[in-house]
């Protein structure tokens, strides 16, 4: 059994990764300040309450648990907020990660899987987007993730770090067993917002219906959070025999769904209509964002097994009705 320090492991994707790690025979040690995470989501290993910017707390956690590797999810993740308050994002997401990498270096922890994002690509000129696509982020959130990828590259060259970044598209759905799921404050993801809008008192705003797409609404690549979690576990295990260095994989399905398609699927899952209104486009929203994840499929045999739209939205609906409410 290997021990894995999971920063941000009480959050949405991080908690599902912890369940996948435990299922593969590893011990996830959650390191989370619980600012956006939830203590009820920590079910498969110990919780260390701490902030990645607190070097003393990181040192103490590593000395106590002696992890073999790190999965790094801890980050602020609201694109709009990153535009209005970039300093907060660079301080937490970039400077905080530097603190983590230096602690790993000083304690001899040499493997890290990093939660990156398709936002590092910016406005795509190739769809589906391959890993080789130029990285030209258009907001501080994406820029900060790209800075961390550069830091991982430099730490690998200087200190022998083995690092992989997973650039994923739109995480969706919830644990099929209903043990954990999505709970954000505020919520910004389309699927939970669409499901919430089955209550007509909270209509869903469709941000533009005049895009160059078949129905006029944006198209995105949605991937089930359990498929993301499985990919993280697979990548971590593949690194045991890999030499030092940095590399990155896309995580997506290679197919997209429009906002209106998501709404229709939400209505089918909930059995009632989604209240909507049309709003203006959001600045910087590409018409289509779809990822090419053929490389991780080819190299690691990963397949998204839960990522058809009906399954994702069905699991999200079940979680919204029966999930943890504390």
Q: List, by residue number, the catalytic residues.
A: 141
How many other β-carbons are positioned within 10 Å of the β-carbon of residue 179?
Answer: 17
Q: Name the phi and psi angles at 128, rounded to 5.
A: -65, 150
SS3 at position 154? helix
How many other β-carbons are positioned within 10 Å of the β-carbon of residue 81?
Answer: 17
User: What angle do helix axes 259-270 and 309-322 make, rounded to 10 degrees?
Assistant: 50
Burial class from Cβ neighbours inside 10 Å (0-12, 13-18, 19+) for residue 108 reads exposed
Please state, in angstroms and rounded to a whole number, the distance separating the CA atoms of residues 117 and 95. Answer: 18
> Bridge partners of 29?
5
Secondary structure, 3-state, 183-206: CCCCCCCHHHHHHHCCCCCCCEEE
What lies within 8 Å, CB to CB, of 97 at 6+ separation is 52, 72, 75, 148, 151
Q: Buried b / exposed e across 46-60, counting CB within 10 Å, b at 16+?
A: ebbebbbbeeebbee
Q: Name the phi and psi angles at 278, rounded to 5.
A: -95, 125
DSSP secondary structure string for all residues of 20-81: HHHHTT-EEEEEE--SSS-GGG--SS-EEE--TT-HHHHHHHHHHH--SEEEE------HHH
DSSP 8-state assignment for residue 260 = H
How many other β-carbons are positioned within 10 Å of the β-carbon of residue 287?
Answer: 18
249 membership: H or E segment, kind and range: strand 245-251
What lies within 8 Å, CB to CB, of 22 at 6+ separation is 28, 44, 45
């Amino acid at each position: 059994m290997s021990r894995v320090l999971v920063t941000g492991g009480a959050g949405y994707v991080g908690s599902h990764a912890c369940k996948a790690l435990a299922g593969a025979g590893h011990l996830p040690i959650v390191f989370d300040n619980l600012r956006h995470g939830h203590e009820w989501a920590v079910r498969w290993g110990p919780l260390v309450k701490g902030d990645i910017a607190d070097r003393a707390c990181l040192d103490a956690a590593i000395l106590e648990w002696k992890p073999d590797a790190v999965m790094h999810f801890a980050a602020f993740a609201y694109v709009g907020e990153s535009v209005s308050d970039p300093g907060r994002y660079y301080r937490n997401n970039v400077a905080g990660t530097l603190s983590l990498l230096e602690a790993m270096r000083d304690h001899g922890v040499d493997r890290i899987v990093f939660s990156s994002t398709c936002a590092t690509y910016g406005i795509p000129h190739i769809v589906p987007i391959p890993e080789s696509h130029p990285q030209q982020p258009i907001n501080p959130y994406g820029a900060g993730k790209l800075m961390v990828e550069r830091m991982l590259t430099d730490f690998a060259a200087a200190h022998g770090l083995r690092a992989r970044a997973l650039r994923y598209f739109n995480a969706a759905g919830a644990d099929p067993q209903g043990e954990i799921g999505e709970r954000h404050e505020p919520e910004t993801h389309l699927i939970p917002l669409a499901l919430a809008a089955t209550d007509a008192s909270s209509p869903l705003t469709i941000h533009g219906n005049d895009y160059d797409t078949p129905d006029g609404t944006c198209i995105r690549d949605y991937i089930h959070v359990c498929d993301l979690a499985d990919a993280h576990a697979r990548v971590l295990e593949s690194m045991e025999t890999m030499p030092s260095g940095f590399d990155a994989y896309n995580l997506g399905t290679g197919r997209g769904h429009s906002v209106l398609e998501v709404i229709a699927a939400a209505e089918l899952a909930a059995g009632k209509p989604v209240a909507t209104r049309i709003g203006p486009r959001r600045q910087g929203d590409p018409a289509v964002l779809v990822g090419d994840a053929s490389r991780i499929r080819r190299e690691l045999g990963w397949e998204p097994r839960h990522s058809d739209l009906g399954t994702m939205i069905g699991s999200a609906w079940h979680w919204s009705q029966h999930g943890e409410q504390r």
